[in-house]
Structure 1
Amino acid sequence: MDAPHKLRTDALVAAGAGALSAVLAFVTDGGRFPDAFGWVLLLCSALPLVWRRRNPVAVLLAMIPVLMAYHLLDNAHSAPMPQTFVVLYTVAVTGRPLRTLLTGCAVIAVMVSVVGVIDAHHGLELLRISGWIVAVLFCGVDVRIYRQYVASMVERAERAERTREEEARRRVAEERLRIARDLHDLLAHSITVIGVQTSVASHILTVDPDRLDREAVARALDDIAGTCREARAELRTTLQVLRDGSEGGDGPLPGLAALPGLVRAAETAGATVELSVRAPEGRIAPATGAAAYRIVQEALTNSVRHAGEGVRIEVRVEPDPAFPALRVTVADDGAPSARGRSGEAGHGPGFGLVGMRERARSSGGTLDAGPLADGGFQVAAVLPLPGSPAGRPATAAGREGAVL
């Protein structure tokens, strides 16, 4: 019942009902032709319809005494039917079925009483009018049910639209997180290696200028240039993926076969790395291989950055003996910088460990990271392989934190 210009529309309905009642007063053959007072009662019975939407029951109660007086004067009994039907329809379409039932019974009872007082022999006329009243009430109930159905369908459609929007926002957030993680893994590793190599070159140039080792300086600068080229190539691939909206870009995802390249980059930064890779039987999913690669990359970057030049790092990638999963472990002996890696000291909080945990979770696995009892720092991840329902927790003692 919520519509624009309700009052103006209801005024037009009241005027139309009054005009139709006047026409029926001229053509009806039941009762006498209304006199002046009868015309006033007839037209006044249509006037409350102007406020029928605000309170239909009150409008009906206001019309009942006017119509009773009109019928008791034995005026044309069919004339007030238009406004009667309109108000009964409004009561039925705006209220509960119980209220509609009680209203219909009350109206029929009043009508029977009034007509019975006037003429007890008008039973057939009374039955006909009662049938129309029941039909109008049923029509109002049916329209009410239909409106409720339409409203529920609209609400369901709006809920589905909100769900789609929330899903779209969730996917955008996940994509932004993935992009941030990829860029972090790429740039943090490359910048860290370049920083260490630059420090080496600067050290050679400033410690003993008279005995300058030109070959060492040239080798450090070549390593910097090579790292820049690799970073540029990976960045171009990542941007190509973002630009095209594809998953793989111009080449395959990095996997276990690319781990020696990470080791060489760490060694050029002054670290000593021992790599042990035992690929499991069967084909490793590209996402699992890429997750293992990125976890090793970030762990090496953290070790080089926080433990400094000369750190010894052990990288092991092997099948889990008790579970269909790939175990990735990166441990170093850089105990003095363990606190900095958890974001508690050093360079402040970052996203390194957070990103590695997200990498592991994206493949259905788990990751723990923390200082070792005998010194150093360890990152241990378990990545499920095909046929595994989920990863199990790594055995390393973990501690919340992040780096870089």
Structure 2
Amino acid sequence: MRGRPGVRALDAPAVMVPAVGALAACAAVAAGMWPGVRPLDALGAVLLVGVHVPLVLLRRHPGPALAALVVLALPYHLMQYQHHALVPAEVIAMFGYAVLGRRVRVVLSVAGFLLLTCVVGMAMRAGGSSVREQIAVIEGVVAVAIAVQVWRGHRARVAAITERAERAERTREEEARRRVAEERLRIARDLHDLLAHSITVIGVQAGAAAHLVRGDRPLDRDELGEALASIAATCRDARTELRGTLQVLRGTEAGPPEILPGVTAIAGLAEAARATGLRVALDDAEIGTLPPEVGVAAYRIVQEALTNVVKHAAASAVSVGLAREREGLVVRVADDGRGPSGGTPEGFGVLGMIERARSIGGTLDAGAGDGGGFVVTAVLPVKDSAPVGP
């Protein structure tokens, strides 16, 4: 496996050997100039240099390097050679293992305990001022070991914090994408319901007006005026709803409350359907006060269901019922038309109604009626959904 060029360069003996050799030379000079209890002789020099040799392999093999250094350092200290000379090598080995090794806490604790026991024992045997000097050495080694542990713990905490921050950022991005997708779907449903219904009603009304103009019988100006007035009213309602939808899309204020339709506007849908020639029976008595989201969902479901009746059903009559039951608000639209050939109509209409009902925790069923025609039944949950009545 190929590693990074920088790491391989640091691992090369050509780089490590001169650095370790310089460190060993400095340690030998210190031990020779300040011998302490026992002057540095040939055996001491061999042990001192041997302690530094494992540092060459510290990066690639931190565990064996630290173990070899401790094994060679113990006899050096036991023979009462200059203890201070090995402190830099011991500190470097401990720090390197803390950065690169495994089971750091246990290994460093064992190595530090062995060195500490050795130095304390020899210092107590020497007595006098040597005790104070060796205690200073011990304090230095222990301080470095503690500092290494603190640094290692800090690095682990920083890594954990960084990972949590990255995970939180990914979660926020996923949540933002999910919200964008949901908002786009909601806007698509609103535009579909609004435009499909309005265009369908306008098309039927315009066809009726054209039939009046082209018919053989004398033109009835009042009847033509009513047809054109219905088209104008449908255009005004569509413009109002479209403005509300565009305000949501642009992120502006929702606007006046009347822009968001509710169950009170269903009567207008029934009237518009009657203008196309359908007989519409509306039963919305005693449904009580509904949350805005339930009212909007009920309005859109009835709107889409009536649009499908006008476009596809070839029906002469349709009934629209809204009732409060224990399950919530029950919306039912049934026609006496031919019904879909495959059981459910094609297109996005029924799918949009199902999605709209599910968006507030409700359900919707659509299919052929028992006596023919097509029936849409939606159950929309409402808090305190007990029936309203005397």
Same fold flag (TM > 0.5): yes
Give the conservation status (yes or no) of the 8 Å contact 2:40–2:81. Answer: yes
1-structure distance, mates of 2:203, 2:57: 81
1:327 aligns with 2:330: yes
Give the conservation status (yes or no) of the 8 Å contact 1:302–1:341. Answer: no
1:189 to 194, 197, 204: 197
2-structure distance, mates of 1:252, 1:53: 71
Matching residue of 1:357: 354
Deviations 1:188-216 (A, max 9, x none): 1112212333444455566x5x5464645
Matching residue of 1:288: 294
Cα pair distance change 1:22/1:193, threshold 3 Å: farther
Matching residue of 1:254: 261
Cα pair distance change 1:169/1:257, threshold 3 Å: same
The letter for the 1-side match of 2:307 is T
Deviations 1:357-383 (A, max 9, x none): 232233333322221111111112222
Matching residue of 1:169: 177
1:318 aligns with 2:323: yes
2-structure distance, mates of 1:341, 1:70: 94
Which is worse superposed, 138-147 or 298-307?
A: 138-147
1:381 to 375, 378, 381: 378
1:366 to 363, 366, 372: 363
1:227 aligns with 2:234: yes
1:264 aligns with 2:264: no
1-structure distance, mates of 2:183, 2:258: 20
Cα pair distance change 1:245/1:18, threshold 3 Å: farther
Q: Secondary structure at the match of 2:84?
A: coil
1-structure distance, mates of 2:385, 2:28: 84
Instruction: Kindly state the Cα deviation for residue 24 of structure 1 after the two structures are TM-superposed.
Output: 2.9
Give the conservation status (yes or no) of the 8 Å contact 1:89–1:139. Answer: no
Give the conservation status (yes or no) of the 8 Å contact 2:324–2:385. Answer: no
Q: Secondary structure at the match of 2:340?
A: helix
Which is worse superposed, 69-78 or 156-165?
A: 69-78
TM-score normalised to the size of structure 2?
A: 0.77
1:299 to 305, 311, 315: 305
Cα pair distance change 1:211/1:331, threshold 3 Å: same
Matching residue of 1:238: 245
Instruction: Kindly state the Cα deviation for residue 257 of structure 1 after the two structures are TM-superposed.
Output: 1.9
Matching residue of 1:58: 64
The letter for the 1-side match of 2:304 is E
- What is the root-mean-square deviation in Å for CA atoms of aligned residues? 4.1
1-structure distance, mates of 2:163, 2:291: 43
Cα pair distance change 1:218/1:27, threshold 3 Å: farther
2-structure distance, mates of 1:388, 1:342: 30
Cα pair distance change 1:236/1:69, threshold 3 Å: same
2-structure distance, mates of 1:385, 1:72: 85
Cα pair distance change 1:62/1:249, threshold 3 Å: farther
Instruction: Kindly state the Cα deviation for residue 333 of structure 1 after the two structures are TM-superposed.
Output: 0.9
Question: What residue ranges of structure 1 are gaps of 5+ in the alignment?
Answer: 392-404
2-structure distance, mates of 1:51, 1:245: 66
TM-score normalised to the size of structure 1?
A: 0.75
Instruction: Kindly state the Cα deviation for residue 235 of structure 1 after the two structures are TM-superposed.
Output: 0.9
Alignment of 1:5-404 (within 5 A): 17-18=23-24, 21=27, 24-25=30-31, 27-30=33-36, 31-33=38-40, 38=45, 45-46=51-52, 49=55, 52-61=58-67, 63=69, 76-93=82-99, 94-96=101-103, 97-104=105-112, 121-122=125-126, 128=135, 133-201=141-209, 210-211=216-217, 213=219, 215=221, 219-248=226-255, 251-281=258-288, 283-308=289-314, 310-320=315-325, 323=326, 325-334=328-337, 336-339=338-341, 342-343=344-345, 348=346, 350-388=347-385
The letter for the 1-side match of 2:278 is A
Instruction: Kindly state the Cα deviation for residue 285 of structure 1 after the two structures are TM-superposed.
Output: 1.7
Give the conservation status (yes or no) of the 8 Å contact 2:332–2:376. Answer: yes
The letter for the 2-side match of 1:342 is T
Instruction: Kindly state the Cα deviation for residue 269 of structure 1 after the two structures are TM-superposed.
Output: 2.1
Q: Secondary structure at the match of 1:319?
A: strand
Question: What residue ranges of structure 2 are gaps of 5+ in the alignment?
Answer: none
Give the conservation status (yes or no) of the 8 Å contact 2:244–2:259. Answer: no
The letter for the 2-side match of 1:159 is R
1-structure distance, mates of 2:161, 2:260: 46
1-structure distance, mates of 2:344, 2:22: 81
Deviations 1:137-166 (A, max 9, x none): 343333322322222222222222222222
Give the conservation status (yes or no) of the 8 Å contact 1:104–1:137. Answer: yes
**Equivalent pairs: percent with the same residue?**
45
2-structure distance, mates of 1:19, 1:184: 85
Cα pair distance change 1:224/1:205, threshold 3 Å: same
Deviations 1:207-266 (A, max 9, x none): x5x546464566544433432332122212211232244345574521222112111211
Cα pair distance change 1:195/1:24, threshold 3 Å: farther
